[in-house]
C-alpha cells in the first residue's frame, strides 16, 4: 500500500459533504486528523488495513461539524453549578426545594439556586406559579429560616428585563451581584473550569465542533480556556475575541500592546485561537463603570461590558484598524451608525482582509446590505431570539418590515458571509437551523418574512461553512473533502428531509474533531 492506512473509515452512511464537487458520499476515510478519501466503499477500501477501525453507519446522516458563531460556551456549564427550580409550579414547590437543600447545609450557609421559570427564556413566571406572584423574602425565610437564600435572576438577555431575584433589576446586564448582593456566593475559578468541560460535552452532543466568541472574553474566562487547553481538555475548536478592560484614555497604549499578539488572525493553534476585540457602540456608562470596577469577576456574562459614545467608538475603531486588529461590534440597534464609522475607517486602513464582524445582525435594509458587502464585513446572527422567540415583537419594532428582520436569504444573495449562532439560549444549533428555515414565531405560530427563509442546504451551510469563514478556517473546515479536517457529526435525523420539530433537540450519535471522538462511541 502506497498510502498511509486510515485510522477510521465511516462506511454505509449518507454523508452530506457540502463539497460542490461531490455533495453526497457513502464512505470516508480519516488519517492524521483529516479526511483522506471520500466516495463509495470502493473509493476508501484501499485506505483500509488491519489496524483501521471501520464504523458501519447503517445509513445514518453525516454532516460537517457545526460551528456556533456566537456560543457563550463558557456559560452553559455554569447552569448546572446551582440547583434548578425549573420544575416548581408554585411558591410552595419552591419552599419544598429550599427545605431539601437546607437539610444538607450547616446553619448560616448560603442556599443559591438557578432562576425560577422554564429555560431557556423563562417567560412563564410569575404567571405559571399557582400564586401568580414572585416569592418574597418572607416566603424564603419560612422555608429555610437558618440560611440566607438567593434565587438568582435570569441573565437579562435570556428574556427581557425586569429581572427578579430578590430585588428587581431593569438592566439587561445585571449589576445586583456587584452592588447590593456582593455577599452572595460567586462562580469560582474552579466552578468555571468544571463548567467549561461540561459545556463542551453539551455542545458536542448537538454536533458542534467549533465556536466563535465575538462578544468578547474577559480575562477570568480566558484564563479558564488557557488552563483547560494546557491540560489537554479543550475538545472543541475555540476562537475568541477579547473584551477590552482598559480605562478611558488608555485605548492607544492598550491597542498597541494587544495588537502585538492578538492582531490579524490572532495567536494560538487549531484548538484555541485568540484574536481581535469586541468593541461596543453606545451602552450604559454607569453599568459599564460598575462592571469594570468589579474585574476580574464577570458573573453570568463572561465578558466585560463597555460604554462608548460615538466619538470614543470612532477613535477606538480607527486605532484597531491602524494596528490590524479585528473588530466585533454588536449592532442590534446601531447598524447604520456602526457602518458609518467602518466606511470612514476603511478609507484609510484595509479592514476587509480582517473580516470585521457585525455581531447580532438582527435587521438590515437593502441599502445596509449593499454597504456591508462593499466593506467585506461578515455577520453572525441569532435566529433563536429574533425569530423563534420574539419575531412578532421585532417586526413591530421595525414598523412591519418583516423582510428586514434577519434577512438571511438576502445575505446569501449578496454573497455576504455569515454564521448562525445559538447565543446559548438554548445551546441547540438545530433550533437555530429550524428558525431560519421556518421563520415562525413560537408563541403565535406566525410566519414572518417568508421571502427571507433559507433552504435547508443554505441553513446547513451557514452552520458549517459560514462559521468556518467567520473563524478564517474555510480552507480547513466547513465541508467534508480530502484534505479537510475530520470535523463531523453523525446525526439522528437528516437535516435536509426530517421534520423540523424532529431536528430541534436532536443529539448526535457521534461527534469528531480532527478525527478524535468528542461525543458518542464509534462501534
Q: 418 burial class (0-12, 13-18, 19+ CB within 10 angstroms)?
A: buried
Q: In what order do the strands lie in the sheet with 14-16?
A: 24-25, 14-16, 61-64, 488-491, 508-513, 516-520
Give the domain CATH number at 331.
3.20.20.140
Give the structural domain span for 95: 82-185
Residue 290 exposure: Cα atoms within 13 Å on the Cβ side: 15
Task: Tell me whether residue 31 is in a domain.
Answer: no
Kindly state whether residues 303 and 344 are assigned to the same domain: yes
Kindly state whether residues 365 and 429 are assigned to the same domain: yes
Rounded to an integer, the average pLDDT of 69-75 is: 96
In this structure, are residues 262 and 276 in contact, taking their beta carbons and an 8 Å threshold? yes
Phi, psi of 105 (to 5 degrees): -120, 155
The confidence band for 165, taking pLDDT boundaries of 50, 70 and 90, is low
> What's the pLDDT tens digit per position in 114-138?
999 888 888 888 999 999 999 999 9
Whether residue 63 is predicted with pLDDT greater than 80 in this model: the reply is yes
Number of domains in the chain: 2
Q: Report the distance separating Cα 239 and Cα 85, nearest Å.
A: 33
Kindly state whether residues 223 and 368 are assigned to the same domain: yes
Q: Is 493 helix (H, G, I), strand (E, B) or coil?
A: coil
The whole-chain average pLDDT of the chain stands at: 94
Rounded to an integer, the average pLDDT of 384-393 is: 92
Rounded to an integer, the average pLDDT of 220-240 is: 98
Whether residue 170 is predicted with pLDDT greater than 60 in this model: the reply is yes
Kindly state whether residues 139 and 265 are assigned to the same domain: no
Indicate the residue among 116, 150, 185 that finishes a domain.
185
Q: Identify how many contiguous H helices and E strands the chain contains and give both numbers.
A: 18, 23
Whether residue 2 is predicted with pLDDT greater than 60 in this model: the reply is no
Peptide bond just before 297 cis, omega within 30 deg: no
β-bridge pairing 53-56 and 8-11? parallel
Nearest one of 375, 379, 353 to 472, comparing CA atoms: 353
| More confident call, 154 vs 317 | 317
Task: Tell me whether residue 5 is in a domain.
Answer: no
Kindly state whether residues 298 and 419 are assigned to the same domain: yes
Kindly state whether residues 150 and 201 are assigned to the same domain: no
Kindly state whether residues 234 and 291 are assigned to the same domain: yes
Confidence at residue 502, expressed as pLDDT on a 0 to 100 scale: 97
Task: Tell me whether residue 231 is in a domain.
Answer: yes
Whether residue 169 is predicted with pLDDT greater than 80 in this model: the reply is no
Kindly state whether residues 382 and 270 are assigned to the same domain: yes
Task: Tell me whether residue 298 is in a domain.
Answer: yes
Q: Is 56 helix (H, G, I), strand (E, B) or coil?
A: strand
Task: Tell me whether residue 36 is in a domain.
Answer: no
Indicate the residue among 185, 214, 246 that finishes a domain.
185
CA 104 to chain CA centroid, nearest Å: 35
CB atoms within 10 A of CB 31: 19
Kindly state whether residues 215 and 363 are assigned to the same domain: yes
Q: Report the distance separating Cα 38 and Cα 523, nearest Å.
A: 20
Kindly state whether residues 388 and 279 are assigned to the same domain: yes
The confidence band for 28, taking pLDDT boundaries of 50, 70 and 90, is very high
- Burial track 317-339 (b if 16+ CB lie within 10 A, e otherwise): bbbbbebbbbbbbbbbebbebbb
Nearest one of 298, 255, 246 to 276, comparing CA atoms: 255
Q: Cell numbers at residue 222, please?
A: 480566558
The percent helix, strand, coil of the chain (3-state, each to 5) is 35, 20, 45
Lowest mean pLDDT among 208-222, 386-400, 450-464: 386-400
Rounded to an integer, the average pLDDT of 397-419 is: 97
> What's the pLDDT tens digit per position in 272-300?
999 999 999 999 999 999 999 999 999 98
Indicate the residue among 185, 220, 244 that finishes a domain.
185
Task: Tell me whether residue 314 is in a domain.
Answer: yes
Confidence at residue 248, expressed as pLDDT on a 0 to 100 scale: 76
Whether residue 154 is predicted with pLDDT greater than 90 in this model: the reply is no
Kindly state whether residues 234 and 354 are assigned to the same domain: yes
Whether residue 1 is predicted with pLDDT greater than 50 in this model: the reply is no
Task: Tell me whether residue 384 is in a domain.
Answer: yes
Rounded to an integer, the average pLDDT of 361-379 is: 98
Vertex 521 angle, CA 515 and 523, to 5°: 100
Kindly state whether residues 247 and 168 are assigned to the same domain: no
Give, as one character, the DSSP assignment of residue 314. H
pTM given for the model? 0.94
Task: Tell me whether residue 24 is in a domain.
Answer: no
> What's the pLDDT tens digit per position in 308-328?
999 999 999 999 999 999 999
Amino acid at each position: 500500500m502506497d498510502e498511509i492506512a486510515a485510522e477510521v473509515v465511516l462506511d454505509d452512511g449518507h454523508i452530506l459533504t457540502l463539497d460542490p464537487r461531490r455533495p453526497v458520499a457513502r464512505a470516508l476515510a480519516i488519517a492524521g486528523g483529516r479526511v483522506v478519501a471520500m466516495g463509495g466503499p470502493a473509493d476508501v477500501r484501499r485506505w483500509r488495513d488491519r489496524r483501521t477501525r471501520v464504523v458501519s453507519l447503517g445509513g445514518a446522516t453525516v454532516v460537517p461539524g457545526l460551528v456556533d458563531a456566537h456560543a457563550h460556551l463558557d456559560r452553559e456549564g455554569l447552569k448546572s453549578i446551582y440547583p434548578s427550580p425549573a420544575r416548581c409550579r408554585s411558591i410552595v414547590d419552591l419552599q419544598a426545594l429550599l427545605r431539601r437543600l437546607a437539610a444538607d447545609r450547616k446553619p448560616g450557609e448560603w442556599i443559591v439556586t438557578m432562576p425560577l421559570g422554564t429555560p431557556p427564556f423563562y417567560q412563564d413566571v410569575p404567571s405559571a406559579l399557582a400564586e401568580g406572584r414572585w416569592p418574597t423574602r418572607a416566603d424564603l425565610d419560612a422555608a429555610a429560616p437558618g440560611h440566607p437564600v438567593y434565587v438568582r435572576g435570569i441573565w437579562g438577555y435570556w428574556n427581557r428585563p425586569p429581572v427578579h431575584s430578590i430585588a428587581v433589576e431593569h438592566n439587561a446586564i445585571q449589576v445586583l451581584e456587584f452592588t447590593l448582593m456582593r455577599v452572595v456566593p460567586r462562580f469560582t475559578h474552579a466552578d468555571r473550569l468544571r463548567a467549561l468541560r461540561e459545556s463542551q460535552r453539551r455542545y458536542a452532543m448537538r454536533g458542534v465542533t467549533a465556536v466563535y466568541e465575538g462578544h468578547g472574553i474577559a480575562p477570568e474566562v480566558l484564563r479558564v480556556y488557557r488552563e483547560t487547553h494546557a491540560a489537554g481538555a479543550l475538545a472543541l475548536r475555540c476562537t475568541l475575541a477579547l473584551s477590552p478592560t482598559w480605562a478611558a484614555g488608555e485605548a492607544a497604549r492598550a491597542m498597541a500592546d494587544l495588537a502585538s499578539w492578538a492582531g490579524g488572525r490572532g495567536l494560538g493553534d487549531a484548538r484555541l485561537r485568540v484574536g481581535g476585540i469586541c468593541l461596543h457602540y453606545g451602552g450604559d456608562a454607569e453599568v459599564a463603570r460598575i462592571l469594570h470596577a468589579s474585574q476580574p469577576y464577570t458573573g453570568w456574562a463572561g465578558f466585560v461590558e463597555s460604554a462608548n459614545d460615538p466619538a470614543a467608538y470612532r477613535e477606538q475603531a480607527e486605532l484597531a484598524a491602524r494596528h490590524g486588529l479585528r473588530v466585533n461590534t454588536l449592532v442590534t440597534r446601531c447598524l447604520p451608525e456602526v457602518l458609518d464609522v467602518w466606511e470612514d475607517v476603511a478609507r484609510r486602513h484595509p479592514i476587509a482582509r480582517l473580516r470585521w464582524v457585525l455581531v447580532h445582525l438582527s435587521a438590515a435594509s437593502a441599502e445596509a446590505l449593499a454597504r456591508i458587502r462593499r466593506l467585506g464585513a461578515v455577520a453572525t446572527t441569532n435566529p433563536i431570539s429574533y425569530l423563534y422567540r420574539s419575531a412578532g415583537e421585532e417586526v413591530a419594532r421595525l414598523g412591519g418590515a418583516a423582510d428586514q428582520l434577519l434577512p438571511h436569504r438576502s445575505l446569501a444573495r449578496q454573497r455576504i458571509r455569515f454564521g448562525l449562532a445559538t447565543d446559548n439560549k438554548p445551546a441547540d444549533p438545530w433550533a437555530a437551523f429550524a428558525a431560519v428555515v421556518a421563520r415562525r414565531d413560537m408563541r403565535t405560530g406566525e410566519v414572518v418574512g417568508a421571502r427571507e427563509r433559507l433552504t435547508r442546504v443554505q441553513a446547513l451551510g451557514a452552520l458549517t461553512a459560514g462559521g468556518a469563514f467567520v473563524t478564517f478556517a474555510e480552507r480547513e473546515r466547513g465541508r467534508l473533502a480530502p484534505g479537510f479536517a475530520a470535523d463531523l457529526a453523525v446525526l439522528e435525523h437528516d437535516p435536509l428531509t426530517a421534520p423540523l420539530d424532529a431536528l430541534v433537540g436532536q443529539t448526535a450519535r457521534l461527534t469528531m474533531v480532527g478525527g478524535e471522538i468528542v461525543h458518542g462511541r464509534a462501534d
